Amino acid sequence: MEFSLHVSKFEFDGGSATVAGELARIAAAAEASGAAWLSLQDHYFQVPITGLPPESPMLEGYTTLGYLAAHTSTIPLGMLVSGVTYRHPGLLAKIVSTLDVLSGGRAVLGLGAAWFEREHRGLGVPFPSTAERFERLEEALRICAQMWDPKDNGPFDGKHYQLAETLCSPQPIQRPRVLVAGDGERRTLRLVARYADACNLLATSPEVVAHKLDVLRRHCDAVGRDYAEIRTTIAPMLQPTPDTRDEFVRAMADYAELGIHETVLIIPRVGSPAAWVEDMTPTARRLAELG
């Protein structure tokens, strides 16, 4: 099992003046750790799940990824995940293409239906119904695929998006891996089967994840997709601490037995996140022994 690292908190010791330097150190530590990729969360207000207030520092994601690309050379970079409502899909495809070109082919596109209504309302971003957001998510996945097809610069005529041209030059150095996050059985996992290279499931228990994987297999069968092509990743409810490292590795073994390829380690709010990454690297590398 591989591991990735995720940055969701930007409240560092010393305030705003220290953010850039600490992020550069986190990126260097993540690259040295052997992480499968480094991700950020795509929000403008801090989200409740972090335990921090909305006013807590939050950076715009793609600007930050560009900065991290300049401070790394090998680790893939992306969002976990881009909210489909925040950027027109044609512009999102161009943004991710730019990140890929400037990073030397390291961009990952994580994409989801978006959910945080408060920041939408707060910033004046339309927040459609759940059904419409999923319709937009499917069209966005189709638009990105077309934008990254150098043989197809033609129009896209969808229910929610109409593009007269899907011209994208320069093309990505390599087509960015597409990850669809979420484990909704009727819509999200169907989109994974049809359009994505990877999924990210909430790991509440091995039993729940095993069921979600079975649902994904059925969706793959329905569309003629080889389930083995999809990289399966999880966001565990349990995260490692200095006191629970062994417990964490034992818990991940149950998911490895299900065939999960990767687990996401969320960097906590600590004085030096880069030091935390360095300290956790030996534990994270033990995951590789799980197969």
pLDDT digits (tens, 9 = 90+) for 136-157: 999 999 999 999 999 999 999 9
Instruction: Return the pLDDT at 285.
Output: 83
Counting Cα atoms < 13 Å in the Cβ hemisphere of 190 gives: 8
Q: How many of the other CB atoms lie within 10 Å of CB of 284?
A: 24
pTM of the model: 0.95
pLDDT value at residue 271: 75
- Average pLDDT rounded to a whole number, residues 17-33: 96
The enclosing H or E element of 96 equals helix 89-103
Average pLDDT over residues 36-51: 95
Q: Which of 259, 272, 287, 262 is nearest to 39 (CA)?
A: 262
Tell the CATH topology of 2-289.
Answer: TIM Barrel (3.20.20)
Which pLDDT value is given to residue 238? 85
Q: For residue 270, what pLDDT is reported?
A: 79
Asked if the model's pLDDT at residue 213 lies above 90, the reply is: yes
Name which of 264, 253, 242, 257 is nearest 287 in CA terms: 253
- C-alpha dist (Å) from residue 113 to 83, 91, 194, 278: 6, 17, 16, 33
Distance CA 199, CA 183 (A): 8
Average pLDDT estimate for 34-38 = 97
> What is the band of 223 on the pLDDT scale with cuts at 50, 70, 90?
very high
Determine the pLDDT at residue 216. Answer: 98
Which letter, b or e, does each residue of 202-240 get, where b requires 16 or more Cβ atoms within 10 Å of its Cβ?
ebeebeebeebbebbbebbeeeebeeeebbbbbbbeebb
At residue 272, the pLDDT reads 84
- For the chain, the average pLDDT equals 96
168 band by pLDDT with thresholds 50, 70 and 90: very high
pLDDT tens by residue, 56-98: 999 999 999 999 999 999 999 999 999 999 999 999 999 999 9
Mean local confidence (pLDDT), 10-36: 94
Span 178-207, average pLDDT: 97
Burial class (CB in 10 A: 0-12, 13-18, 19+), 7: buried
Tokens 């320069």 appear where? 170
Of the pLDDT bands very low, low, confident and very high (cuts 50, 70, 90), residue 14 is: confident
Distance CA 152, CA 142 (A): 12
pLDDT score, position 114: 97
At 235-279, the pLDDT tens digits run 998 888 888 999 999 999 999 999 999 999 999 987 789 999 999
Residue 290 — very low, low, confident or very high, per pLDDT cuts 50/70/90?
confident
What pLDDT, in 10s, does the model give residues 87-139?
Answer: 999 999 999 999 999 999 999 999 999 999 999 999 999 999 999 999 999 99
